[in-house]
Every structure is written in structure tokens, then in C-alpha cells.
Amino acid sequence: MRYRMYGRTGVQVSALGFGAMRLPTTEDGTCDYEKAIPLLRRGLDLGINYIDSAWGYIKGTSEVAVGKAIKPYPREKLVISTKIPIRGIHAKEWWERLETCLERLDTDYIDVLHMHDLHWDVFQEFGLGENGCLKAAQEAQARGLVRFLAFSSHDTPENVVKLIETGAFQGVTLQYNFLDRHMEKVIHLAHERGMGTVVMGPVAGGRLAMWSPQQLREMLPPSVRSAPDLAIRWVLANPDVSVALSGMNTMEMIEENVASASRPEPLTEDEKQAVQTLFERLQELANLYCTGCGYCMPCPNGVDIPGNFMLMNYYRVYGMKQYAKEQYANLEREGKASLVGVSIEGKAASACVQCGQCEPKCPQNIPIIEQLEEVARVLGEG
């Protein structure tokens, strides 16, 4: 494992972070500790020291799993991150949430405490002021309950810059991968300001894993083992990044990702060039890039918005035109489709009645209605 500095905090973090949002679950949707704990421990044994959870992950049981998993390890060697959403709450509720996090994590302190999915307007309304969450967080920091304050965000780059410029945070977690570079300059700025920079979604929600070995061989240098390998190495080739987070739920995935993050040089110059060429091929994706976050859902008319966009990405990005059309036809006919292990359920793009409810909820500002029209036109044609 390679280690990097978490900004100017003096703390060393593993280049690969363990995202604890996709741990195995039981039938009731809570964490399956018997399966989750060995996974987390395998990651720790392979040198991961940054674990990222959140107050809301897996109905609160992600934090419990992390707390149980870290027990045998020296606490001071670990960098435990969690996240509390502040929308709609003030200092009193914030303290209650912090206490819950500490209890679940079964620890005396949290290393990196994020304001979860922070937006500039939410920060102004609920972060600032005498009764605001920031003052409470700073007090928790002064009392040694929290080492560093951070935020995660899907807000616009301009607003994320404003949050950085407040100087209130020592770290930031943002989405960044080679299909979605819109936060690149913001990450650079945060790094320059001495903040720890953590990247979520380095493998684009797992969808980059869909390339076949054949396609990869055609597109990329032989040292690239798989799409996730490339994705993690690409993120870590950016020296502004402290940690690439990956939501891991199999031993194999952990071992492969650790290998990707353990290279002395994530990508050589030749490899970077090959990836650049690939970017150019993927440029057409830019207008239709959907992260699959699901914030636009549910659609009152039952359209599976991210599912339809995923099908379109297959058509446009991976060049799997026939396959994408067949799956779209299944969606229209049966309300179901599947894409190499991912199932899509809901209505096809053609069922959109253009009510407009989804668009304001999209953090990527995707013109959903217009893009769905295109999906229906392109994939629906004979």
C-alpha cells in the first residue's frame, strides 16, 4: 500500500480508502456483520487505514460494522471518517447525531468528520450562526471528539470553491473519475489550500467494470488489468488526490484494488497518453453523463431515469449498440432489463410525460427530459 499526506494535517492516509457504503446486507437491509467485518479487516490487513462511513449508510449499521471491525487494531493508526448531514438541523440535533456516530463506531473520537452532501445554501442556512452546525463541530473539535472537519459535496464547482474558501474545513470528499472530471480544478485548489482530498466514485459506480478484457486490450496498455484497475490508477496519478475511496464488498475486489493502489507510479507517461486517447473517444459521453446517483428518483410516472441513461451509455460509450437496443426493447415491453449483472426495473424513456419533477433534483444538472427524448429516439428505433 502507498500512503499520502491528508493535506497539511500531518496525517498519513492509505492511497486506497475503504468506502463502507456497500457492505453486504441481510434481508432486512441492515449490515451483515459476519460478512462485512472480515472484509473490512482484510482491507486493514492489506494496509488500508482510511475507512469512510456515514451516519446514514446502511440504515446506520455501516458505522456499527466499522466500529466492530477496527476493535483489534491500534486506534491511532486508523483514520476513521464519517459524515453527518446538516440539512434541516441545528447545533442540538448535530450533537445528538455526533453522539450516535461515536456510539456506533464505539470510539472516543472521529478522525475526519464530514458535513454530508453539503450545498452552499444548506451551509449558509444550517452551518452558520450561533446555533449553526459549524460552531458545534468546531466545539467538538476543540474538545478532541473530532480531529478534522471536512465536507462532501455534489454542489456546483463554484459553490464547492466557496465552501473551501470559508477556511472552515481541513478536508473535502468529491466525485472524480476519468469520465467525470468537472471537479478536477476544485480538487487542485483544495490541495493547494492544504486540505485533504478524498475522491469518491473513482470507478464511476462500478460501471467502468463493464468493459470486456477484449475491449480493454484494444484501448489500453497491457499493464492495465481491468477497468477498475485503470480507474483507481488514473485517480491516483493525480498528485492532488490524497485518497481514492472504493466501496468494496468482495475479498477479490479488495485485493485487486489494493494492488492497483500499491504501484509506485500509478500510470507511466505512455499509459497516460493512452488514457488521453481514450478520453477523446469518450468525449461524446459528456452531454449525457449520469452518475447513477438516483437523486432524481422516484419518477411519479415510473421511468427508471438512471437505468435508461445507463443503456444509452452502453450505446454511445461502449459501442454496444445492438445490445443496448435489445435491452431497451425489454424495458419497454416488460419493464425490466439487465446489463451485465445490473438489473434495471421501471419504464422506458418513452414513458416520460415531461412533468419536470426530476430535473431540479439532478446534481449534474442533466437536462433529463431532453436526454430521455433522445434515448427513446435512438434506442427505440427499429
CB of 358 to ligand SF4, least distance (A): 3
46 binds ligand SF4 (CB under 6 A): no
CB of 287 to ligand SF4, least distance (A): 12
- Three-class secondary structure of residue 43 per DSSP: helix
167: amino acid identity, one letter: G
Q: Which stretch binds ligand SF4 (CB under 6 A): 139-147, 242-250, 267-275, 290-298?
A: 290-298
Nearer to ligand SF4, 227 or 349 (CB): 349
CB of 348 to ligand SF4, least distance (A): 11
- Bridge-based pairing of strands 171-175 and 16-19 is unpaired
Nearer to ligand SF4, 18 or 309 (CB): 309
Which residue intervals of the chain are DSSP H helices?
A: 33-45, 61-70, 91-105, 120-122, 133-142, 157-165, 184-192, 213-219, 227-236, 251-261, 269-282, 305-316, 321-334, 368-380
List 56, 60, 292, 335, residue binding ligand SF4 (CB under 6 A): 292
Nearer to ligand SF4, 140 or 303 (CB): 303
List 110, 112, 290, 317, residue binding ligand SF4 (CB under 6 A): 290
296 binds ligand SF4 (CB under 6 A): yes
Residues 299-358 that bind ligand SF4 (CB under 6 A): 299-301, 303, 305-306, 309, 352-358
What is the per-residue binding string for ligand SF4 in 350-369, x denoting contact by CB under 6 A? --xxxxxxx--xx-x-x-xx
Nearer to ligand SF4, 168 or 362 (CB): 362
215 binds ligand SF4 (CB under 6 A): no
Residues 137-196 that bind ligand SF4 (CB under 6 A): none
Give the CB-side neighbour count of residue 304, counting CA atoms within 13 A. 20
**Distance from C-alpha of 32 to C-alpha of 180, rounded to nearest angstrom:** 32
**Distance from C-alpha of 38 to C-alpha of 198, rounded to nearest angstrom:** 24
Measuring CA to CA, how many Å separate 97 from each of 104, 130, 137, 251, 305? 10, 18, 11, 31, 32
**Distance from C-alpha of 209 to C-alpha of 227, rounded to nearest angstrom:** 5
Nearer to ligand SF4, 54 or 358 (CB): 358
What is the per-residue binding string for ligand SF4 in 69-108, x denoting contact by CB under 6 A? ----------------------------------------
List 49, 173, 246, 291, residue binding ligand SF4 (CB under 6 A): 291
CB of 110 to ligand SF4, least distance (A): 28
Contact 98, 79 (CB under 8 A): no
**Distance from C-alpha of 105 to C-alpha of 112, rounded to nearest angstrom:** 13
251: amino acid identity, one letter: M
Nearer to ligand SF4, 40 or 296 (CB): 296
375 binds ligand SF4 (CB under 6 A): no
CB of 20 to ligand SF4, least distance (A): 21
CB of 181 to ligand SF4, least distance (A): 15
**Distance from C-alpha of 46 to C-alpha of 38, rounded to nearest angstrom:** 12
Nearer to ligand SF4, 72 or 300 (CB): 300
Main-chain phi, psi angles of 252, to 5 degrees: -60, -45
294 binds ligand SF4 (CB under 6 A): yes
Number of Cβ atoms within 10 Å of the Cβ of 40: 25
- Residues paired with residue 14 on neighbouring β-strands, in sequence order: 3
Phi-psi region of 294 (alpha: psi -120 to 50; beta: other; left: phi over 0): left
Task: Find the helix or strand (DSSP H, E) in which 351 lies.
Answer: none
CB of 180 to ligand SF4, least distance (A): 10
Summarize as ranges the residues that interact with ligand SF4 (CB under 6 A): 290-296, 299-301, 303, 305-306, 309, 352-358, 361-362, 364, 366, 368-369, 372
